[in-house]
Amino acid sequence: MPKVGMEPVRRRALIDATIAAIGERGSLNVTMAEIAGRAGVSSALAHHYFGGKDDLIQATMRKLLSDLGHDAVRALRRAPTPRARISAVIAVNFSAEQFRAEIVHAWLAFYVEAQKSRELRRLLRVYARRLNSDLMSGLTPLMKRVDALHMAEAIAAMIDGLYIRRALRDGLPNPASAAALVEDYVETKLRRMQAANDENGAPARGVAASPADSEEKKR
């Protein structure tokens, strides 16, 4: 019994079904029929609302990105200090919601698909830039810009790496321990910088320190 105003309902259901399907299959090799089936509709309807498979995939990815974005904004808003901002970024990426197995699988699949799809690559770049700028907003007040850039890169790499390992389900299913690993890295780096600083006024060694780093970053 058809009702009016179903469009948003169906769109949401189809996107959720897409995530679920990708999560289960582990790749984007899911059929429209399966997605539609999971959403309880015909595949024709999925085409009706999204235009085609690629569009549905893209819409799904946008959903993932915007969800993550919203979570990040919310978390960052509550962070009082630069240091807290860093932790907030880490926490969001390893939150229970974001680290759900199917979400992780979907992300991984998107990374791969991005190789083929120009638009997907663009979306992924948006995410990467945002992650980077979020991290930088916490890092730059604490160290020299060049060090901050390196640390942001390292942190991002660890996050991505832990996602992959999570996807492989092979040893680190625990979001808390994943976050702890990254936090430990950050903490160690910061203390080490502090220590080097304190010791004898000698400049702290940043990440991949450049030969000449005479000027000191104040915090």
Partner DNA sequence: AATGAATGAGCCTTCATTCAT
Partner DNA sequence: AATGAATGAAGGCTCATTCAT
Q: How far apart are CA 190 and CA 3, in angstroms?
A: 58
Binding positions for a second copy, 41-70, rule CB under 8 A: none
Measured over the CA atoms of residue 158, residue 159, residue 164 and residue 166, the dihedral's sign is positive
Burial (CB count <10 Å: 0-12, 13-18, 19+), residue 180: middle
Compute the least distance from the CB of residue 68 to a second copy, in Å.
Answer: 16
Q: How far apart are CA 101 and CA 86, in angstroms?
A: 24
Of 128, 132, 138, give the one whose Cα is nearest residue 186: 138
Q: How far apart are CA 82 and CA 138, in angstroms?
A: 4
Compute the least distance from the CB of residue 90 to a second copy, in Å.
Answer: 13
The binding track of 192-211 with respect to a second copy, each residue x by CB under 8 A or -, is: x--x-----------xx---
Find the helix or strand (DSSP H, E) in which 193 lies: helix 175-200
Among 17, 106, 159, 175, binds a second copy (CB under 8 A): 159
Residue 102 binding result from a second copy, DNA, none, given CB thresholds of 5 to 8 Å by partner type: none
CB under 8 A: which stretch of 64-72, 90-98, 115-123, 135-143 binds a second copy?
Answer: 115-123
Compute the least distance from the CB of residue 77 to a second copy, in Å.
Answer: 27
The binding track of 26-45 with respect to DNA, each residue x by CB under 7 A or -, is: ---xxxxx------xxxxxx
Compute the least distance from the CB of residue 56 to DNA, in Å.
Answer: 8
Among 52, 81, 164, 216, binds DNA (CB under 7 A): 52
